[in-house]
Structure 1
């Protein structure tokens, strides 16, 4: 009985994580689409802290004389993807990137520019 419960638990954790990343749960929305950015990154309104809450720790930062001047993000460095990849590796299920479709070669990079600790502009590049 205990083995069956343990097996069920071990199989359900990665499946629940996959569901979350694919949009079936909270945080699964693609934050690198034009619609998402237009809704959440409002120049002169969205603060540095709000950007950090939306996207997490930036991949790179540039500091200006009055705080951050630019942060960059890429989907492949998403903290949720890294967490899932680690968890699935621990269960011997391989890399999350092959399951979720996120790859290091995604090629998208989000640049967010700040003035006075608020978003001043943003752009998304595709390599």
Structure 2
């Protein structure tokens, strides 16, 4: 498959980069998480990454990106996931500064539902990406 990079975001972890790609043949948009294997080893994150991979493959929730496939090369591990536009909660708070009571209630409810779907698979994750569908 051939992809065109649309944008790059820099999550708070230097361990991974997330890029948004559009498949040329179909126009389908994907997020590609690129994780540096050496950094995973040095930081003792291998088991955490495996747990994330397993969780993304299992959970069916509109607030959690779906894992389509993964592959690796000599230096990196790549997770091809569903692209969920909207950003994360930190981006929303930076953009809006303060949420209304209705907005806060909505996002708290979405967060609870996402965490509940994770817990149904017996996972408790230390780093939760809450994707906002705006």
- TM-score by structure 2 length? 0.27
More helix by share: 1
More strand by share: 2
- TM-score by structure 1 length? 0.28
